Chain A
């Protein structure tokens, strides 16, 4: 089985080693004692205690005492932060990028809102224990990408399915779900190629796409056709919604249109992958016309769209911060300073890492934005409370407040700093195993004679 990369022996050993700590009964209260609390939504509190009961934060304060039978985590000299949230990953859907059999993103089909990322999340993915130990406790996992259906297929996707907001621990995907259908992922058509992921306007032949159009007129026509096809799909869904509401006799159940109803009702946002200011503009126009909520993913520059994004209260997911400038003559720090630019423009944003192998670097990407001018508190909020607000779960996660889920990270220092060590991670009040395959391999080979 080694060939597939899953070391079952190691896994069993890990479970055994962590047995002392992990998966304590849910009803045992936990007290983190004398810790510096960074609630994110309020000022830091020095040397206080946090009480966790039934998976939730029950109390915070200097005089909070441990109830009988509570487990104590000594927090002296340590800090506690809310668990971090990565707003764009493919966690659980993609194990090894280059091995097609291990990738479940990028289904076939152009308009596929009915696809559920959640139900394909593999709770046993080795990615989860790896990202947890750095304090990422929740993540958006997206169904789009150059995956299962092959790159060519993914490139033709327009609506890729439902992204899920999940905890990074749990026995089943059902238990991991924070929000089963947090957004519907859309790759908006762009002039001369798709915006964001999946579009390869430079190398269409290489990725099995149809030949590139030869003239501007043709390119424009293709683009307009794609946008109108997308609009048509929404119009049809709206007619279906009306027919359904009216109990029209003989109406056949349509899973695709039904999946769009929460979007039409403005309950679930569209998560639209964009790139240039032009695609941002087009996506905003589309959302206006369809009267739907949107979150924009991965713009590489803001252009003059900041004012409109702010005015319409449209949030964006930024990342990767550690990215090259787009054009040869763009400023070398273009991607480093985009968060600052959004902040100055009053645009709400959260960070995403957009790549499973770097989810554990989420806080470091945020820190890079700080190095290039973003206030540190804003960077921290953009991986905690802002994503919780953007995805509509700020009543549950994203900050350390009474009544919220106890998704907590206990650290030796500033959570954005690389050298900071994570001492404890709690998800829904449960201690999370801080070993993983990588720590086990380290221990094993460190001991090799």
Chain B
């Protein structure tokens, strides 16, 4: 009952956003990220940015938003999130779960989408959990709150797959890990060590290469006009074949420098690329190796000490990797942290002295590059998606709050509206509760039979 009620209320709060139209945001401090900061206006039409400048042409019938000098930045992109997933994020029963896909379990009604939006996030990389050395397939979503699952998907963004190294994959199914697991543990699931994690990944790509060879041979025959019997489709290996073909990005959860290096070498050996190293808390120790491989790094600003593999985590990680030339982003991995990635970026200035623009890039253009969508989002440029966030104060300051968020040139979040809607929602809820109380005659609470 309570659940139903809150869903009804959440739906009430989700008033359908205005359809994309011609909008001009005037009198803003525009932090484009790629083309400097200017005072001026941004015009958008049909979901795309059409003009950026000190003065822009105001098309007839355009809605004008006066920013009052406030700060406009590109929509924030979170390279690591688990929101909007229906049910668990881990298919943890097997060490290689590349057959499962987050795309199949998108929950467009997850309130976290709205909350992320209210924190300035417009795009997020939704990942499978980290219980397996090779996890499930991943998907990039836009926070188009109110749309259905299909409507959230970032059209054309290359999908990915989650890998995981270290404590999480070796712990799953092995509560005792290490010796305990080796000794008995009926529920033990290989691997239980970092050695085993490497082996699992190598073995999976061994199989994937053989599988790909089968298909390549088949495709060659077909191309020659032959009519061979196709190989059997293997949904697990299909995703890894896509990785080998560069059609699917690898996003790898990792902490320690040894396991990071291990994965880079495995990838080198099997001829594929690691697109992003996720968390990568000791990335600063192997920055030259990460750079040489060409992987991006997506990290936390200052998480540490919550487990032993996070003991050497330093808040300077992002700055240090950036100084060594790696494309670095700040991610959340958390529905709450996701709401203030702007200040997480600000921490790269405090710890390591990254410039203002480079810090802002860590939550905009850099994650866009890492996800291969920088042609569409991540900066305020003509032709790009009109995904924009308006802050009342400098967005890298912890005194700033989000006023408005636009996706595809449509206002999806407006703080003034949100505040008044919240009041209405609370009143509505009270009314419904009162009604329930009135309509229920006093009676003994229902008893369930014992046993």
Contact = CB atoms under 8 A, between A and B. Distances in A.
Interface of A: 4-5, 95-99, 126-127, 130, 214-217, 322-325, 327-329, 331-333, 336, 356-358, 360-361, 364, 367-368, 370-372, 416-421, 438-439, 441-442, 445-446, 448-449
Interface in B119-136: none
Looking at chain B's contact residues, the main secondary structure is helix
B320 A99 contact: no
Nearest to A372: B401
Interface in B265-312: 284-285, 287-288, 302-308, 310-312
B398 A329 contact: no
A370 B336 contact: no
Interface stretch (B7-15, B55-63, B364-372): B7-15
Nearest to A98: B307
| Shortest Cβ-Cβ A-B pairs, 8 listed | A5-B311, A367-B398, A331-B422, A98-B307, A442-B316, A329-B9, A438-B314, A418-B346
Contacts of B308: 4-5, 96, 98-99
Given A214-B448, A329-B9, A420-B350, 18 more contacts: A5-B312, A96-B307, A96-B311, A130-B304, A217-B445, A328-B111, A332-B418, A357-B306, A416-B398, A418-B396, A419-B346, A419-B349, A419-B350, A438-B314, A438-B316, A442-B314, A442-B320, A445-B287
B102 to A, nearest CB: 21
Contacts of A358: 302
A63 to B, nearest CB: 35
Contacts of B397: 367, 417-419
Q: Which of A356, A368, A371 has the most C-beta atoms of chain B within 10 angstroms of its own C-beta? A: A371
Nearest to A421: B350
Contacts of A357: 302-306
Nearest to B109: A328
Contact of A445 (B115, B284, B337, B447): B284
B69 interface: no
Nearest to A220: B445
Contacts of A322: 336-337, 339-340
B94 interface: no
Contact of B7 (A217, A328, A356, A421): A328
Given A214-B448, A418-B347, A448 B288 contact: yes
A98 B400 CA distance: 33
Contact of A417 (B10, B114, B398): B398
Given A368-B398, A417-B397, A438 B336 contact: no
Looking at chain A's contact residues, the main secondary structure is loop
A178 to B, nearest CB: 24
Contacts of A216: 445
A16 to B, nearest CB: 20
B322 to A, nearest CB: 12
Q: Which of B6, B308, B311 has the most C-beta atoms of chain A within 10 angstroms of its own C-beta? A: B311
7 contacts: A215-B447, A216-B445, A325-B115, A329-B5, A336-B401, A445-B287, A448-B287
Interface in B427-451: 429, 445-448
Contacts of A420: 350
A419 B399 CA distance: 11
B29 interface: no
B422 A96 contact: no
A98 B305 CA distance: 9
Contacts of A99: 307-308
Contacts of B305: 95-97, 126-127, 356-357
Nearest to A94: B305
Contacts of A331: 418-419, 422, 425-426
B383 interface: no
A328 B284 contact: no
A130 B315 CA distance: 10
Contacts of B284: 441-442, 445
Contacts of B426: 331
A327 B312 contact: no
Nearest to A368: B398
A103 to B, nearest CB: 11
Contact of B118 (A332, A367, A448): A332
A419 B445 contact: no
Contacts of B445: 215-217
Nearest to A366: B398
Contact of B343 (A215, A325, A418, A445): A418
Contact of A329 (B285, B307, B336, B429): B429
A364 B344 CA distance: 11
Contacts of A356: 305
Given A356-B305, A371-B399, A332 B323 contact: no
A442 B418 contact: no
Contacts of A95: 305
B17 to A, nearest CB: 16
Q: Which of A98, A327, A331, A332 has the most C-beta atoms of chain B within 10 angstroms of its own C-beta? A: A332
B200 interface: no
B352 interface: yes
A331 to B, nearest CB: 4
Contacts of B13: 329
Contacts of B347: 418
B398 A364 contact: yes
Contact of B399 (A215, A367, A442): A367
Contacts of A419: 346, 349-350, 396-397
B320 A446 contact: yes
Contacts of A442: 284, 314, 316, 320, 352
B399 A417 contact: yes
Interface string B392-419: 0100111111000000000000000011
Nearest to B429: A329
A328 B343 contact: no
Contact of B285 (A130, A364, A445): A445
A418 B398 contact: yes
A323 B6 CA distance: 19
A156 B118 CA distance: 38
A332 B307 contact: no
B201 to A, nearest CB: 24
Nearest to B398: A367
B335 interface: yes
Contacts of A364: 343, 398
